[in-house]
């Protein structure tokens, strides 16, 4: 994570005392292990697979994602927004499989939660997806759920999926026009930014540019599911929480921002330098530019 924090100029936020404090981020994934680096960060857990009351992760994917967003830096891993809070929704089993309806239900439950509580979930991180051509009725329900959450004031981010590099390979709900879709970069330097070959690419069937944002997603080290454990993973799944953490920092500085304003600021801050012009996206983003909204 150290190279990621350097890449996004995380110090631009930290020097201002911005760590994501008070921002609540929901992670829809395989669950969350109460790793030492996540102590004090986990304030909610809902299990849609086995209905267990206490946080757990029998796969590791969700814990890894959560660490990238908000690990507190007590050990090896320092997340992008170490002051934010995490709400874990376990919608995937130990093999990383799950039902689309469980993901829909989790999103709808989050919208319902926000209507009843003053501390609202501001961001939903969905580092999973389904192929665009599979089960159209379920896809319609999923897109409807995430877009309703967006309209209710929640910034929703989804992975572009790992089915690239062909066109029209972005997975749902990442094909939604409203939400923010994140793809993966392999090369991380100022002069050359190469999209990962596995990263899903647009345009979508509706001719929407997707993903909008590219972030590093290869060989990312984050929290594991044993005490003191850290693991390395790659995929667009790992790129999404980097942006989720950055948006937590943005909302910490500008708490009144709406999802549409957040997306507009991402667009204004995006940088395509060093990228192949054939790859249609907004670019990559750093916190120096992102936090200079006004």
Give the CA distances from residue 58 to residues 33, 90, 129, 136, 281, in Å, rounded to whole numbers and listed in that order: 8, 10, 19, 30, 35
What does DSSP say about strands 155-159 and 180-185: parallel, antiparallel, or unpaired? parallel
Q: What are the E-state strand segments in 129-279? A: 155-159, 180-185, 213-216, 220-223, 230-233
Catalytic option among 61, 64, 66, 145: 61
Domain that holds residue 96: 2-290
The first and second tokens of residue 237, run together, are: 């799944």
Residue 116 burial by CB count (10 A; 0-12/13-18/19+): exposed, middle or buried?
A: exposed
- Give the pLDDT band of residue 191 (cuts 50, 70, 90): low
Residue 29 annotated in active site: yes
Residue 167 has a pLDDT of 81
- Give the pLDDT band of residue 229 (cuts 50, 70, 90): very high
At 9-56, the pLDDT tens digits run: 999 999 999 999 999 999 999 999 999 999 999 999 999 999 999 999
Residue 273 annotated in active site: no
242 pLDDT exceeds 80? yes
For residues 73 and 50, the model is more confident at 50
Residue 199 has a pLDDT of 75
Catalytic option among 29, 37, 57, 186: 29
CATH number for the domain including 247?
A: 3.40.50.200
Catalytic option among 127, 172, 176, 237: 237
2 pLDDT exceeds 90? no
* pLDDT average, residue stretch 189-210: 69
Residue 237 annotated in active site: yes
Q: How many domains does the chain have?
A: 1
């Amino acid at each position: 994570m150290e190279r990621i924090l350097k890449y996004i100029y995380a110090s631009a936020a930290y020097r201002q005392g911005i760590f994501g404090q008070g921002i609540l981020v929901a992670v829809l994934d395989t669950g969350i292990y109460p790793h030492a680096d996540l102590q004090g960060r986990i304030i909610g857990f809902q299990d849609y697979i086995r209905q267990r009351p206490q946080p757990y992760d029998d796969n590791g994917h969700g814990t890894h994602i959560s660490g990238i967003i908000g690990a507190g830096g007590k050990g090896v891993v320092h997340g992008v927004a170490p002051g934010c809070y995490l709400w874990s929704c376990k919608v995937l089993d130990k093999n990383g499989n799950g039902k689309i309806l469980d993901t829909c239900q989790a999103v709808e439950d989050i919208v319902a939660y926000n209507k009843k509580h003053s501390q609202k979930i501001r961001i939903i991180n969905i580092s999973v997806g389904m192929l665009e051509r599979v089960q159209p009725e379920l896809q319609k329900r999923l897109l409807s759920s995430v877009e309703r959450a967006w309209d209710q004031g929640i910034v929703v981010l989804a992975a572009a999926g790992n089915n690239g590099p062909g066109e029209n390979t972005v997975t749902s709900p990442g094909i939604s026009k409203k939400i923010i879709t994140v793809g993966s970069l392999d090369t991380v330097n100022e002069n050359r930014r190469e999209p990962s070959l596995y990263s899903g690419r647009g345009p979508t069937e509706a001719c929407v540019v997707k993903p909008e944002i590219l972030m590093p997603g290869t060989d990312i080290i984050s929290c594991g599911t044993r005490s003191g454990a850290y693991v390395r993973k790659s995929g667009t799944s790992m790129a999404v929480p980097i942006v989720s953490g950055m948006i937590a920092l943005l909302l910490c500085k500008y708490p009144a921002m709406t999802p549409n304003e957040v997306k507009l600021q991402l667009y204004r801050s995006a940088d395509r330098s060093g990228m192949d012009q054939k790859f249609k996206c907004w670019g990559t983003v750093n916190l120096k530019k992102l936090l200079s909204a006004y």
